[in-house]
Amino acid sequence: MKQPTFFEGVAVALTASLLGSALYSVLSTVLPADVVLRLLIAGTGLAYVLYLLSRSHERVGRVTIVAAWSLVTGVIWFVAPPLLPYVLVQLGFIWLTRSLYFYSSVLPALADLGLHGLSLASAIWAAGQTGSVFLSLWCFFLVQALFVAIPTRLGHRNRGTPAGPENEDRFQRAHRTAEAAVRKLSSTH
């Protein structure tokens, strides 16, 4: 499976913007605007989380992420906080998903958190300047497409060095040692 690219992120941004603005236009004729916005935010949040999960190499925990998203989104729907906390919950799940599935250290996850702040600011700016759902979604997801530029590991001292026993990270050494211990224990019985 290929890692996501910036141009793929632009395609996702365009798709989300077109579908989101079309859904907003259709649903706002039959539902109150606040309900439509919450449905749109939840729907695009879930769609983006599912997209991220589909592009990740990791297979563990996918059902848990979707179940947790469903539970928290259901609870926050009934609590009905103002729109900003509702948006922040959806952003939190996008950030959590990318942090767990695309980064291997804390610094890239923090950089991604900053990217979330920038994308939210650009979406709010676009909404305030134009009042357009399309442009708000476009700005948000276009900035989100930049996550591919964040390295999976920042500050790793062995970057660019060939793999070998002296250059492996501590987890790999511990994993290899544990496997050797299990083999030794199983061979003695």
Report pLDDT for 158.
47
28, two tokens: 């706002």
Model confidence over 98-139: pLDDT tens digits? 999 999 899 999 999 999 999 999 999 999 999 999 999 999
The position carrying tokens 């179940």 is 67
The identity of residue 120, as a single letter, is L
In three-state form (DSSP H/G/I as H, E/B as E, the rest C), the secondary structure along 31-65 is CCHHHHHHHHHHHHHHHHHHHHHHHCCCCCCHHHH
Residue 142 confidence (pLDDT) above 70: yes
- From 21, 8, 34, 29, select the one nearest 135 (Cα to Cα): 21
- Cα separation, 53 vs 9, in Å, equals 14
Model confidence over 45-54: pLDDT tens digits? 999 999 999 9
- Cα separation, 75 vs 58, in Å, equals 28
123, two tokens: 């979406």
Domains of the chain, by residue range, sit at 6-154, 157-189
